[in-house]
């Protein structure tokens, strides 16, 4: 009972600290709005009729009451595609980070907790992986398995595993020799139990902050790879793919680039503000 009360108190304290950062609160509100748009757009817009259907009579219409963001070179409504595309960008960002966090944190935490020659070997391998450019990994996966959303998420996730592994290792090293860890050993707890019940929960804060910030990085990377033709295949309305489709018309029809670009910028800024707020709330010592 006391343990649950303490957890609730800690969560309340973190939330109060988070609310002090006005930028983080605004970022959270904006991010929630984007999530709602992504969900509602799936219900409101028909994928075949509103998102991918070619309408030659409506091609390259400027923004108007009928088409708020105008239409593209195939007559597709840009507003509908930007709203519908939010789900792809958010999905890629979140799932990629989940892959990174799960694998990277487990590897890094295990290396730090075990120590010795095992830690040395694991960290040397991590350093080797850090030397591989992310775009090279994406090219290898796309060339081998083809361009698709799952393959892009896998590539983005694997490319950042080493970063999370290093962060997790550093976090675990700070807590593995604490008194409560030694007390658990004295009470007969297994090393695996100590790792998952005591070490990881107390080392999770820096990993959570890094994960939040990394979501925005994955969204930007996904847009960049889609722009280069290595990410989400056409006609799916991912924001980076929309930028690529609108590039030939940028001088005469700049709105084809402006609206998807604004969507990426607003989403990334909102997530970064949330990350800053979490950093200040979880570790006030890092507050600027």
For a pLDDT cut of 90, what percent of the chain falls above it?
26
In order of 172, 274, 278, 280, the CA distances from 105 in angstroms are 10, 21, 18, 21
For a pLDDT cut of 70, what percent of the chain falls above it?
91
pLDDT in tens, 89-146: 999 999 999 999 999 988 888 888 787 888 889 889 988 888 888 788 888 888 888 8
Helices (H), 45-133: 78-114, 116-130
Helix (H) or strand (E) holding 74: none
**CATH number of the domain at 36-44+86-265, please?**
1.10.3720.10
With 50 as the cut, is the pLDDT of residue 286 above it? no
For helices 204-227 and 134-145, angle between their N-to-C axes, nearest 10 degrees: 60
The pLDDT value given to residue 99? 93
The pLDDT value given to residue 94? 94
Rg (C-alpha) for the chain, rounded Å, is 22
**Coil, helix or strand at residue 126:** helix
Quick one: 6 exposed, middle or buried, by C-beta within 10 A (0-12, 13-18, 19+)?
A: exposed
**Coil, helix or strand at residue 77:** strand
């Amino acid at each position: 009972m006391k343990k649950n009360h303490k957890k609730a108190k800690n969560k309340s304290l973190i939330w109060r600290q988070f609310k002090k950062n006005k930028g983080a609160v605004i970022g959270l509100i904006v991010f929630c709005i984007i999530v709602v748009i992504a969900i509602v757009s799936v219900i409101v817009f028909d994928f075949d009729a509103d998102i991918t259907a070619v309408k030659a009579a409506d091609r390259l219409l400027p923004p108007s009451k009928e088409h708020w963001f105008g239409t593209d070179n195939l007559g597709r409504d840009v507003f509908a595609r930007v709203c519908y595309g939010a789900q792809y960008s958010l999905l890629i960002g979140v799932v990629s980070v989940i892959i990174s966090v799960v694998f990277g944190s487990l590897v890094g935490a295990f290396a730090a907790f075990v120590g010795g020659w095992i830690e040395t070997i694991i960290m040397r391998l991590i350093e080797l992986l850090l030397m591989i450019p992310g775009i090279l990994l994406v090219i290898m996966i796309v060339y081998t398995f083809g361009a698709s959303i799952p393959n892009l998420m896998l590539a983005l996730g694997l490319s950042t595993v080493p970063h999370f592994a290093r962060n997790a290792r550093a976090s675990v090293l700070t807590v593995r020799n604490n008194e409560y860890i030694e007390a658990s050993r004295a009470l007969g707890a297994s090393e695996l139990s100590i790792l998952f019940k005591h070490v990881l929960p107390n080392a999770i804060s820096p990993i959570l902050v890094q994960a939040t910030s990394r979501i925005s990085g994955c969204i930007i990377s996904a847009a960049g790879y889609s722009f280069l033709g290595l990410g989400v295949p056409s006609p799916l309305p991912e924001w980076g793919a929309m930028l690529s489709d609108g590039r030939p018309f940028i001088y005469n029809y700049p709105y084809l680039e402006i609206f998807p670009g604004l969507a990426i910028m607003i989403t990334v800024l909102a997530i970064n503000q949330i990350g800053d707020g979490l950093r200040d709330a979880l570790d006030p010592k890092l507050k600027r």
